[in-house]
Amino acid sequence: MKSKKSLISVLFFLTLVIISGCKAQTSEQDNSWQKVSKSNQLTVATAGTLFPASYHDKNNQLTGYDVEVIKEVAKRLDINVTFKESNIDGMLAALQNGSADLAANDFSLNKTQSKKFVLSSPIKYSFGSMVVRKSDDSGIQSLKDLKGKKAAGEATTNYMKIAEKFGAKLVSYDNATNDQYLTDVANGRTDVILNDYYLQKMALGALPDVPVKILKDVYYNPTHSGFLLKKENQALRKKINQTIKTMREDGTLTKISQKFFYADVTKEPNIEIKTTVDVN
């Protein structure tokens, strides 16, 4: 009888340890908002070279759609915000090692990335497009014509994966500015840039003397973008999403969108996109 009671006591103790361990693990995984709130500091990874999502203005001040949206989110949450600039791989590493709380750089997700990361609620809807030379369309009339063409972009992005899937030769850049990308297409160093339609439209508008254009009606992959967070950081994500919802409802999100895109990118575009390319 004594042995049976001892066994029950041991099992009860082990159950408590397991439950306690699970609670501790859950707490550890879900302290992302508590950490930010306690330190009064939100650290945001961004590029600073992606016009008009994240770039430096004529006074060398960091600004852009994603930058200003997250600034407003932080303001409403009554916390300070600090930006860390790097390339895409650097941003993802910063999220993984905890040196950044989220990344604000026109991020969308594929299935592979979703194993480690999550997006906030959408702050922008768009679709993919291609920038080519004005003189000859870089010999491209469809995605199939990418075979053998030199596609410019930052390594590991979904757009470079699409280019590679269609047989393009990848020319990788490390956090380069729009003028470098567009000039290289114009002078033949590269042939094409696959990227977000609105980003490319604004880049061309800012650099009207560079003889490149968006290939008309060759659109693909409807997308939405938001802030990128580590998958475990659900508490912080919830706070961010609640604030985005309020900003959407009171018109602030649309107002910031129109400032940077001269359009309301907070709603799905009224255009039919027939082509979807799986990059997983």
Other C-beta atoms closer than 10 Å to the C-beta of 167 total 14
Strand order from edge to edge, sheet including 49-50? 49-50, 54-56, 62-63
Q: Is the model's pLDDT at 9 over the cut of 90?
A: no
Residue-wise pLDDT for 158-169, tens only, equals 999 999 999 999
Percent of the chain with pLDDT over 90: 83
pLDDT at 272: 87
Compute the distance between CA of residue 271 and CA of residue 193 in angstroms, rounded to an integer: 21
Tokens of 150: 């030199």
Map residue 62 onto helix, strand or coil.
strand
Region 199-224 average pLDDT: 96
pTM: 0.82
> Considering only the top CATH level, what class is 32-125+224-261?
alpha beta
**How far apart are alpha carbons 75 and 51 in whole angstroms?**
23
Residue 123, burial from CB neighbour count under 10 angstroms (0-12, 13-18, 19+) = buried
Q: What pLDDT sits at residue 30?
A: 82
- Residue-wise pLDDT for 93-122, tens only, equals 999 999 999 999 999 987 788 899 999 999
Domain extent listing, the chain: 32-125+224-261, 126-221
Tell me the CA distances in angstroms from 267 to 33, 117, 270, 271, one per residue in order.
28, 23, 9, 12
User: Which pLDDT score, from 0 to 100, does residue 131 have?
Assistant: 98
Cα torsion 162, 164, 169, 174 to 10°: value is 70
Both structure tokens of 80: 């300070």
Contact 106, 198 (CB under 8 A): no
The CATH superfamily assigned to 126-221 is Periplasmic binding protein-like II (3.40.190.10)
Looking at the chain, the whole-number percentage of residues with pLDDT higher than 70 is 90
- The 10s digit of each residue's pLDDT in 261-274 is 999 999 999 888 98
Q: What DSSP line would sit under 73-109, residue for residue?
A: HHHHTT-EEEEEE--HHHHHHHHHHTS-SEEEEEE--
The pLDDT of residue 180 is above 90: yes
- What is the per-residue burial (b if ≥16 Cβ within 10 Å, else e) of 243-275? bbeebbeeebbbebbeebbeeebbeebeeeeee
- Asked whether the predicted pLDDT for residue 10 surpasses 80, the reply is no
Instruction: Please state, rounded to an integer, the average pLDDT across all residues of the chain.
Output: 90
> Quick one: tokens of 142?
């469809």
3-state secondary structure of 230: strand
DSSP annotation of 215 reads P
